[in-house]
């Protein structure tokens, strides 16, 4: 049983009728859980209700954990891998309401995660390693209040990333994810290292694995365009357009061995949404691509 700790490209031709059903189902699920949390007195707000932020501590949208070591922070949840000294996934909802709040100045409070019972990596593990302390939940995704941002600096949320990957194509994907969430209202986000692939090596006294690649999967359950997209990107500099790494979510599941959104939808609807990718529903930025090629990759 999972240990639960709480702190406060294949392109298919999906059925439009089924997709509409998914949207209705997602809206019903979101509404029911919102009402349940209100009834139970949990501190959770809806992105449409005028609340300043969304506090997590909800289980219904979480992926499966292969380690059984699930840690709930207030503003995101993770599944920790002691073997690799980092999360195998982090999961959270990213809302337009959160992103429209005034941004706080970025912190730098990297520190071990006190909720990792086996102990997490430390900042010293990364010192002189040649790798960046790469966020899985970006600090900018949680810049709407001090506690939310500060939580992103737990070392359980950090993974070794090549410098020009972290500051290049990974930055581009993070910025586009925020743009898509602003446009669509809300996204379910799951991110992590691809630990099923042989690591590039280890760093530090704690033996932190250096992932060969990273993934991000996004789900939009709001009507009228229910959609999902996945990415797997090698942990290295890239001069390729970001859309070339896009794929259906079920392809990411095949590589990582993780079932991402099974708890959100009945099996038939899950297969429909995760098995199809319509790239036209995700707006990519030529300007950001040019910035990456001409500037970000060389920082």
Positions annotated as catalytic residues are 135
Q: Strands, DSSP E only, in 8-85?
A: 69-72, 77-81
Continuous segment of H or E residues that includes residue 133: strand 131-135
Beta bridge partners of 210: 201
CA–CA dist 133, 130 (Å, integer): 10
Q: Are 136 and 161 in contact (CB under 8 A)?
A: no
User: Going by DSSP bridges, is the β-strand pair 186-193/158-162 parallel, antiparallel, or unpaired?
Assistant: unpaired
Residue among 10, 21, 27 nearest 278 (CA): 10
Q: Which residues contact 260 (CB under 8 A, 6 or more apart)?
A: 63, 190, 217, 219, 249, 252, 253, 274
- 270 burial level (CB within 10 Å; 0-12, 13-18, 19+): buried
Rounded CA-CA distance 23/26 in Å is 5
| Residues 95 and 56: beta-carbon distance below 8 Å | no
Helix (H) or strand (E) holding 162: strand 158-162
């Amino acid at each position: 049983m999972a240990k639960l700790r709480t702190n406060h490209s294949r392109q298919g031709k999906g059925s439009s009728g089924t997709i509409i059903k998914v949207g209705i189902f997602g809206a019903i699920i979101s509404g029911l859980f919102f009402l349940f949390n209100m009834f139970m007195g949990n501190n959770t707000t809806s992105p449409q209700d005028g609340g300043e932020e969304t506090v997590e501590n909800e289980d219904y949208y979480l992926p499966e954990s292969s380690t059984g070591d699930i840690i709930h922070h207030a503003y995101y949840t993770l599944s920790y891998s002691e073997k690799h000294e980092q999360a195998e996934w982090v999961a959270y909802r990213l809302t337009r309401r959160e992103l429209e709040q005034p941004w706080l100045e970025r912190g730098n409070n990297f520190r071990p995660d006190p909720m990792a019972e086996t102990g997490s990596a430390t900042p010293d593990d990364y010192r002189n390693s040649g790798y960046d302390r790469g966020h899985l939940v970006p600090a900018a995704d949680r810049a709407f209040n001090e506690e939310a941002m500060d939580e992103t600096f737990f070392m359980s949320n950090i993974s070794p990333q090549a410098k020009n990957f972290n500051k290049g194509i990974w930055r581009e994907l993070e910025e586009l994810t925020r743009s898509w969430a602003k446009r669509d209202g809300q996204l379910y986000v799951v991110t992590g290292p691809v630990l099923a692939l042989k690591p590039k090596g280890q760093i530090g006294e704690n033996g932190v694995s250096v992932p060969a690649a990273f993934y991000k999967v996004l789900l939009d359950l709001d009507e009228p365009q229910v959609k999902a997209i996945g990415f797997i990107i090698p942990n290295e500099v890239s001069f390729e357009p970001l859309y070339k790494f896009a794929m259906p979510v079920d392809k990411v599941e095949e590589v990582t061995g993780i079932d991402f959104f099974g708890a959100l939808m009945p099996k038939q609807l899950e297969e429909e949404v995760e098995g199809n990718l319509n790239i036209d529903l995700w707006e990519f930025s030529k300007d950001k691509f040019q910035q990456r090629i001409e500037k970000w990759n060389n920082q």
